[in-house]
Structure 1
Amino acid sequence: MVDVEIRELMQPFVLSDYQVQEVYSRFCLEIAKGLRRTTHEQASTKCFPTYVQDLPTGDEMGKYLALDLGGTNFRVLLVTLKGHHEATVESQIYAVPKDLMVGPGVELFDHIAECLAKFVAKHDMHNAYLPLGFTFSFPCIQMGLREAKLTRWTKGFNCPGVEGEDVGLMLHDAIQRRGDAEIAVVALLNDTTGTLMSCAHRNPDCRVGVIVGTGCNACYVEHVDNVDLLDTEFKRIQKQVIVNVEWGAFGDHGQLEFVRTDYDREVDRKSINRSEQLFEKMTSGMYLGELVRLVLLRALERNKIFKLNTKRAAFVAVLQKNVDIFETKYISEVEADSFPEFPNTRRIVKQLFGVEKATVEDCQKLKYICECVTKRAATFVAIGISGLINKIIDRRVVVGIDGSVYRYHPKFDGYIREMMQKLVKPGKEFDIMLSEDGSGRGAALVAAVASKTK
C-alpha cells in the first residue's frame, strides 16, 4: 500500500472521468478540423493524406528494399514477399552518428545512401532493380506516394537544409550521386503507415496503425470523401486512403493545458522543440523517463521517498545534475517487479544512487510513481485510438501497434484496453495486435502495392 504523501504528489497525473471525456471531445474536434481544408491550418493534428490507398491482400510477391529512419539508428531491410501472407525479412541496423543528427541534411542522406550500397553489396544484388519503401518517421506533408516535404524535425534531429524539402528526392539524389546500385524510391511513408500495412498483411480487419516508442503517432483508414486535402484524381478510383494523424502535436494550441502538470512544462521547456509535440511529450519513450526523474527529484526534495537514507542529499545532486538519467526502459523494468523482492527496482536504485538495498516501502513508492506516469500516457493513447475507431465505418476494427514502450512495457497493453472499453462505442468490436516489424515489412508492402499499381 502506497502512503498518502506519494498519492498526493502523483494526483496531477491521475485523470478524472471528466478530464478523460474532455480530452476525448477535444481530440475528435481536432481530427475534424485537420481533415477539412477550411480549418486545416488551425488544426494541431494535421491529418495528412498518405496517398496509400491499397491495403495488402497477402498475395504480394517479389523482393523489395525497405529503409526505416526514425531515431538514432536506422535499418535497411530486404523483404521477400512469398504470397499466402508470408514474408521473410533480412535486415541490418546502422547508426546515425550524433554529429549527423544536427549536421547538414545532404551529409545525412549521403550516409544513408552509403549504408544502402553496403547492404546491397553484402546481399550481392548490385545488378537487380530494387524498389524501395522509405519509412521516414517525422512530420511531413505528403504530395504523392513518393514525395513528402518535412515540416519539422523531432526526436533530437535538427539537420539544416531539410525542412520544407522533399525527403524522397533527397534520398534519390544521394543514391544517384553514388551510382553503384539500382535502387528506386517508389514509396515514402511514416512508421504508423508501415505498422498498419504490416498488420493488414496478416489481418485484413486492421484499420489503425499506432506507434508508441521514441515518438508517438497514429494513422487510420478514412473514406476519401472526408479528406478535403486529397486531390480529386485520387478520389475517383479508390474510396479509401490512409490518413497520417500526426497526433503528437495535439495540444500545441492549448487543448491540453487543463491536464498538463508542472513536470510536463519543465520537460517541454528543456526540449529542442519547445511548445511543439505536447501530446508526444506526455506519451512517448523519449520523455516518460524524464518525467519520472523530475517527480523523483521533487519527492526527494520534499522528503517523501528514501526518508531514512543517509545519502539523500547525494541522490538529489545526482538527479539534478544528470538529465535523462532515469531512462524510460527503467519504467518497464520497475513495473514488471513483484512484491516484496523488487529485484529490478533495487538493481536500478543501486546503479543510479549506489544504495545497497532499497526498502520495500521505497520500492513501492517508486513503482507507484512509474505507474502513474505510464497509466496517464496509456490513457491518452487509448483516447486517440478510440476517437479513430469511432470514426471508422467498419463494425470490427483491428489496431496494429508498434514501438518500444508498447512492446516492452509489461502493462501498457492492459492499460490501453481498459480505457478503450469505456470509450469505444457500444456495438463496435476492437482488438489490438503487435506489429511484426511494421516500419520494415510495412514499407516493403507499400513498395510492393505501389509497384503493382504502376
Structure 2
Amino acid sequence: MGMAINNLPQIREECEIFQWSDKQLREVMVRLHSAIEKGLGRDTHESSIVKCWLSYIQDLPNGKERGKFLALDLGGTNFRVLIINLGDNHFDMQSKIYAIPQHIMTGTGIALFDHIAECLANFMKEHGVYEERLALGFTFSFPLKQLGLTKGILQRWTKGFSCSGVVGTDVVQGLKDAIARRGDLSLSVMGILNDATGTLLSCAHKERHCKIGLIIGTGSNACYVEKTEACETFEGGLSKQDMVVNTEWGAFGDDGALDFVRTEFDREIDQHSVNPGKQIQEKMISGMYLGELVRLALVKFTRMGLLFGGRGSDLFFQRGSFYTKYVSEIESDKPGDFTSCMEVLEELGLSHATEADMAGVRHVCECVSRRAAHLVSAGLAVLLNKMGEPRVTVGIDGSVYRFHPHFHALMCEKIAQLIRPGLQFDLMLSEDGSGRGAALVAAVACREIQKAT
C-alpha cells in the first residue's frame, strides 16, 4: 500500500462555496429587509414573496392570565390536545398526543375535523372537563392567511397533508362545524396561530423581552412584534400599537433573490423536492434538507476521487439516506475523535472510510450547518435592526436548533456581528412552545375581554 494521499485541502477548497463572506451576508440582509417591507406594504403585499401575514395577535401574555384553557396543536403527522391551568403562582399543563391516520391526512377536510373533534371530546372526558364551557386556542402550522384572530384561510397544505375542501377556506370554521356536528361540547375558539407565533407567546409568558418567535426544524419561519402603523394591510382601524407579524420567511428567495449564493447542491435539492422553486431559503436552513445537502456534496467528492478512495455504496448513493440527525452526531465528536462519524459511515455501508475521509466528512457537515446558522442569523439581524429595541429575546423551537451541538453558538456570534451597535439580544429555547402558545392565545383573549367589560 502506498502513501495515503491527503485530499483534505482540496475538499476544503471545494467547500468554499458554502462559506459566505460578511459582504454576501449583508447583501442577503438588504434583500430580506426589502422583501419584508414589501410584504407589509398595502400596494406591494400582493406581489411580495415574503408575505408577512398579520396574526391579529396584539397583546402578549403579561402573567395576569387566570383560568383553565384548552389547546389544539396540529403541525404534522400527529396532533396534541392540551389543557393548561393558570393560577396565581402555578402553571400546570397536561397533554396527550393523538395520531392522524394516513387515510385522514389525504381524505376529506370534514373527516379530518371530525377526527380532531372526537379526540378533543375524549380528552375532555379523561380530564373531567367534558361538561364545562372552556376557551380554546388552535395552533395550525400550515401557511395561513389570517383575516382575524379567529379567522385563518389555508393557503396550501404542506408536510404530506392533502385533505380536500380545506384550501381557501377558514380553518376555524372547519373546526367549529365539526364541534357543532357532535353537539356535545360547549367550546369557544378564541384564536388560531402557527408554531412560530406559539413559540413567541410561550416564551413571552416567561420572559417579557421576548418579541421574536423562530422555528428551525422541519421547516423554518419567524414572527416578530411590529408597530401596527407599519402593518399597512391591517384593516382594523387604529387599535393597539403592536401587532405580531408572521413573516413566512421560508419563501424568501423564491424570486431569485438568493441565486447569487446558491450552489449546484441547492439547485439539485430543489429540483427533486415536492415543491420545486418554492421555499428556497427554507431549503438552505431546515432539518428536512441539511442532511441531503451534505450527502450531495459527499457524493460529488467521492466521484471526484477525493473521498472513500472513490468507492461509495448503494445506500450512500440513495436520495435521503443521510439524515440531518447524522450531521448533529458527527459534529458532536470532539476534535480528533471520529466515533460518531465512523458509526454513521458504517450504517451507510462506507466502512472502508479512512480517518482522512472522516475529517473530510466532518468538514462538509460543518460547512453546511454553519451556512444554515449564518443565514438564520442574517434573518434575525434584519428583524432586530428593524425593531430597533434596546433588548430583545428570541424564542426558538425546532429540532435543528435543539439538537445541533454548535447552532446556538454560531448564531450568537454571527448575530452580534450583524446587528446595529447598541442592540442586545438573547436566544431562548422554547419548552413545548406551540401547544402552550395556543392555550395562552385563548388566555390572553379572555383577559382582554374581561378587561373590556
TM (norm. structure 1) is 0.94
SS state at 2:316 partner:
helix
Letter aligned with residue 168 of structure 1? V
1:137 corresponds to 2:141: yes
2:232 maps to 228
Q: What SS does the aligned partner of 1:331 have?
A: helix
Distance 1:262 1:399, change over 3 A: same
Tell me by how many angstroms 1:354 deviates. 6.1
Residues 307-322 of structure 1 mapped to structure 2, 5 A cutoff: 307=309, 312-313=311-312, 315=313, 317-321=314-318
Give the alignment of 1:42-53 within 5 angstroms: 42-53=47-58
What is aligned with 2:423? 428
Partner SS state of residue 286, structure 1: coil
**1:168-317 maps to which residues of 2 (within 5 A)?**
168-233=172-237, 235-236=238-239, 238-307=240-309, 312-313=311-312, 315=313, 317=314
Displacement after TM superposition at 1:358 (Å):
4.2
Q: Answer whether contact 1:290 1:328 (CA < 8 A) is retained.
A: yes
Kindly provide the CA deviation profile for residues 241-278 of structure 1, in whole angstroms up to 9, marking residues without a partner as x: 10111101111111111111111112111222221111
CA deviations on 1:166-220 (whole Å, 9 max, x unpaired) are 1111122222223343332211001111111111111111111101111100000
Where structure 2 has 5 or more consecutive residues not aligned to the other structure, the ranges are 1-5
Q: SS at 1:391's partner residue?
A: helix
The equivalent residue for 1:327 is: 323
Take 1:101 and 1:282, find their aligned partners in 2: how far apart are those partners? Answer: 27
Compared CA separation, residues 24 and 94, structure 1 to 2 (3 A)? same
> After superposition, where does 1:336-351 map in structure 2 within 5 Å?
336-351=332-347
Q: Could you tell me which of 366, 381, 386 is aligned with 1:391? A: 386
Partner amino acid, structure 1, of 2:235: D
The structural deviation recorded for 1:100 is 3.1
Tell me the CA shift for residue 331 of structure 1: 1.1
**One-letter amino acid matched to 1:3:** L
Change (3 A) 1:371 1:61: same
Structure 1 stretches of 4+ with a deviation exceeding 6 A read none
Q: What SS does the aligned partner of 1:285 have?
A: coil
Greater Cα shift, 359-368 or 43-52: 359-368
User: Who is 1:102 aligned against?
Assistant: 106
Asked if residue 418 in structure 1 is aligned to residue 405 in structure 2, the reply is no
> Contact (CA 8 Å) 2:51, 2:247: kept in 1 or not?
yes
1:113 positional shift: 2.1
Match of 1:449 among 430, 438, 444: 444
Q: How many aligned positions are there?
A: 444
Higher mean alpha-carbon deviation, 30-39 vs 298-307, is at: 298-307
Structure 2 counterpart of 1:67: 72
C-alpha displacement at 1:139, in angstroms?
Answer: 1.2
What is residue 3 of structure 2 aligned with on the other side?
none
Contact 2:316–2:349 at 8 Å: present in 1 too?
no
Residue 418 of structure 2 is aligned to residue 401 of structure 1: no
**5, 27, 35: which one aligns with 1:30:** 35
Per-residue CA deviations over 1:45-93 (Å, capped at 9, x if unaligned) read 1111111011111121111111111122222211112244x42221112
Against the structure 1 CA distance between its residues 159 and 302, is the aligned structure 2 distance closer, same or farther, given a 3 Å change threshold?
farther
Q: Residue 17 of structure 1 is aligned with which of 17, 22, 35?
A: 22
Q: Provide the alpha-carbon RMSD of the alignment.
A: 1.7
- 1-side partners of 2:55 and 2:181: how far apart? 28
Closer/same/farther in 2, CA of residues 294 and 159 from structure 1, 3 Å limit: farther
Q: Distance in 1 between matches of 2:284 and 2:104?
A: 27
Residues 20 and 170 of structure 1: CA distance in aligned 2, closer, same or farther (over 3 Å): same
Note the alpha carbon deviations across 1:421-451, whole angstroms, 9 max, x for none. 1111001111111112110111111110112
Give the secondary structure class of the aligned counterpart of 2:289: helix
| Paired residues for 1:76-91 under 5 Å | 76-84=81-89, 86-91=90-95
Pick from 53, 63, 86 the counterpart of residue 58 of structure 1: 63
Q: 1:364: which partner in 2?
A: 359
Percent of aligned pairs with the same residue?
Answer: 50
Structure 2: which amino acid aligns with 1:158? S
> Which deviates the most, 263-272 or 426-435?
263-272
- Mind listing any 5+ residue stretches in structure 1 that lack a counterpart? none
Tell me which of 377, 381, 386 is aligned to 2:376. 381
Rate the CA distance shift 1:110–1:294 in 2: closer, same or farther, 3 A: farther
